[in-house]
Structure formats: structure tokens, C-alpha cells
Amino acid sequence: MALPHTPDSNPTDYIDDEDFIALEVPPEVSGERLDKFLGGALPDYSRNRLKSWVEAGAVTVDGKVTKVRHLLRGSESIKVFPQEMPEQFAFSPENIALDVVYEDDSIIVVNKPAGLVVHPAAGNWTGTLLNALLYRYPELKQLPRAGIVHRLDKDTSGLMVVARTDIAQTSLVRQLQERTVGRRYLSWVWGDAPSQGKVLATVGRDQRDRLKMAAGSAQGKPAATLFRRLAKGSFTESSVALLECRLETGRTHQIRVHLESLGFPLLGDPVYRKRTPGVAKSLPFNRQALHAYALSLQHPATQEIMTWFRLPPQDLIDLLPLVGMSEADLPREEALMASIKNDQRAQ
């Protein structure tokens, strides 16, 4: 079993992945054993699994490796570095339809539908994008995470790039780390959003709810999201805006967390919904209204700058008239290409 490592220490890993789970021990559990506390704090993992991680040195208490029977005094900081589980070595190819936008010997670009999980994990060991990729491209079995170098949330739709070779994977990860991959999203939010803006706030685990992320977290990683308003609308007198968001970093749930922190939660978001108006309950849309509509990068083999564009899926098209918008409010490919060229000249 691998020893724990610090975030970003493995260049082939997800650049937006959280490498550890951070926990704060409340004072009232003073005297409780470490393994018992972990079992209560992390119910998604079995007690045996957590015990094995402690014994392997993959759990630290105030920065120190300790033992399963260690007694907590309260107020400590715990970091849990999840280790690969046996299930993760049992990925099997599955005949799942893929919308392949582009492919060559080096890369694959797919348009992921909402509802498709990218990578197997607890609760989703099958039926993922990875399983589908292994069926269509068996050679990906030789690459870490089957060539996947970034990801989208389960209920976010849109464009993703996958590497087909070690060289391509190294190149794509480097581009992601250097923030030269262009990623643009369409997001529908509640509120009267300004014409443009930039959010600079760290994103890290919410200390009160480990299943959520939080903006401004002291233990978070730096994150930057730029946005501009494309259209304004409303739903039963509550303001709605269509935003184009551009990522300068790629943190987990970044757009959802950043926009919520400004008071503009995404329509349909079941998790990040502070200041969501009461009328949201009557809106017939049940996923975060977020679509990765444009992707640009330097081809790992040819060094050519390539760009792909996909309009949102039908459920988001159907949402438009409900919030006082139309397809004319969506960006056009020609304008996108001109905007990307301007960004590239400015770099």
C-alpha cells in the first residue's frame, strides 16, 4: 500500500483532486480512540478500511503518524490520505455509449452527458466514463486512470479530454498545471449577476460537512474563476442570469462554490444553494445548470492549438424558455473562436 503523499506530488494525478480528507477533532470527544472517531466521521468507509490506512501510516494526527488505539485529546487536526482500494483494480470495460467529439492517436475528446460519473468510487464502481473508455479503447488500461486527466461532476455535462499515450498524458497534465488549457462553461444562476467579474478565493473541504467544498477555506487551494453575463431572465419574478465562466484553476466544485459565495447559486444545484429563492422548488430542473461548452489546448503531438465547442444538451435548451431566455442567448462558435484568439494573444 502506498505511503501518504502531499498534494500535487504526483504529476500524473488529477490536478483538481483533493489528496486528503481534513478533519477537526471536537473537544467533546476527548479520550476517544482514533479508530472509533474515524469510523463515525467517515461512514462511507468501512472500519477495517480505515484501520488499514492508520496502520499503513496514511492517517496523521497533528502531522504525526500514530496508532489505531491512539487516544484523542480534542482539537487535533487529522488528515486522512485515502489509499487505493481493491475495487479500483477491478475496473472492467462496459459497453456504454460515448459521444466522441474528436479522436486521434494521442487524445480523445468526449462530450460527457449529465448523470455519468467520470471515475469509479464508493457507490459508483461501475457504469462510469472510465468503464466506457476501457471498452472502446482497451489500450487505456495501461495508463493511470485510463488516461483521464481532469473531470466533471456527475451532473455537469460537457467536454473532457482523455490521453491515449504516456506522452500525451504528461503533456496534458503539464498544461493543466500551467493553466494553459482553456475551459469555458455555461452556468445558469439565481440572482442579478453583474456583467462580469472574477472570483479569487481558495477552495477546500468544508470543515462542517466533508461532502462539500467551501470558498475561502484556510486549508484550501488557490482558485480563480472569471465570468461574464450573457443574458438576463427570471422565473416567477426571481432574477436569473446566464453566465460564461472561465477557469484559471480546476478545483473540485469550483464554479459551484465560487458563484454561491457571491450569492449566485446555480439553478438546480442540490448542494450549494445558499440564497436560492423559494420559487426554486417549483422549477422543473433537477441538476446543477452547468455545461462545459468549450475546450482548447495544445495538441501533445502536433503542438497545434485546438478548440472544441458543444452547445448544451436538450435539458438545458428546454430550460431556456422557462427562465425567459432563448437559444439566441447562447454563445456562437464564431464569437468563441475570436474570443479564444484574443485570450491567446494576451497570454
Q: Tens of pLDDT along 202-260?
A: 999 888 887 789 999 888 899 999 999 999 999 999 999 999 999 988 898 999 999 99
Grid cell listed for 162: 482523455
What integer pLDDT is reported at residue 8 of this predicted model?
Answer: 38
Long-range contacts made by residues 206-210, C-beta under 8 angstroms, separation at least 24?
A: 207/22, 207/24, 210/21, 210/22, 210/23, 210/41, 210/42
Our answer to whether residue 153 is catalytic in this structure is yes
Q: What is the pLDDT of residue 16?
A: 39
Selecting among 153, 155, 206, 269, the annotated active-site residue is 153
For residue 10, is pLDDT > 70?
Answer: no
pLDDT of residue 14: 36
pLDDT value, residue 5: 35
Pick the closest to residue 241 from 267, 260, 219 (CA basis): 267
The DSSP code sequence of 262-326 is TT-PBTT-SS--TT--GGGGGS---S--EEEEEEEEE-TTT--EEEEE----HHHHHHHHHTT--
88 band by pLDDT with thresholds 50, 70 and 90: low
Assigned superfamily of 182-346: Pseudouridine synthase (3.30.2350.10)
Mean pLDDT score, 273-283: 93
- Please identify which residue in the block is written with the cell numbers 486522512: 80
Average pLDDT, the chain: 88
List residues bridging with 214 in a β-sheet. Answer: 204
By residue count, the chain amounts to: 347
Q: What's domain 21-81's architecture?
A: Roll (3.10)
pLDDT by residue (tens digit) across 90-111? 578 999 999 999 999 999 999 9
Q: Give this prediction's pTM.
A: 0.75
pLDDT of 308 over the 90 cut: yes
Q: To 5 degrees, how large is the angle CA 196–CA 200–CA 202?
A: 145
Separation CA 7–CA 233 (nearest Å):
41
Whether the domain at 91-177 and the domain at 182-346 fall into the same CATH topology: yes
CA 305 to chain centre: 24
C-alpha cell at 89: 483494480
For the cut 60, the answer to whether the pLDDT of residue 2 exceeds it is no
Cα gap 22→17, rounded to integer Å:
14
List of E strands, the chain? 21-24, 59-61, 64-65, 77-80, 100-103, 107-112, 157-163, 182-190, 196-200, 203-206, 209-215, 224-235, 238-247, 290-298, 305-309
pLDDT tens per residue, range 147-206: 999 999 999 999 999 999 999 999 999 999 898 999 999 999 999 999 999 999 999 988
User: What percent of the chain has a predicted confidence (pLDDT) above 90?
Assistant: 70
Residue 85 pLDDT: 63
Q: With a cut of 90, say whether residue 336 has pLDDT above it.
A: no
Enumerate the domain spans of the chain: 21-81, 91-177, 182-346
Q: How far apart are CA 173 and CA 148, in angstroms?
A: 10
- The pLDDT of 49-74, averaged and rounded, is 91
In the predicted structure, residue 135 carries a pLDDT above the cut 70: yes
Select 91-177's CATH number: 3.30.2350.10, 3.40.50.10190, 3.40.50.10420, 1.10.287.130: 3.30.2350.10
Q: Where are the beta strands (DSSP E) in 180-223?
A: 182-190, 196-200, 203-206, 209-215
Stretch 121-134: mean pLDDT, rounded?
86
pLDDT of residue 287: 95
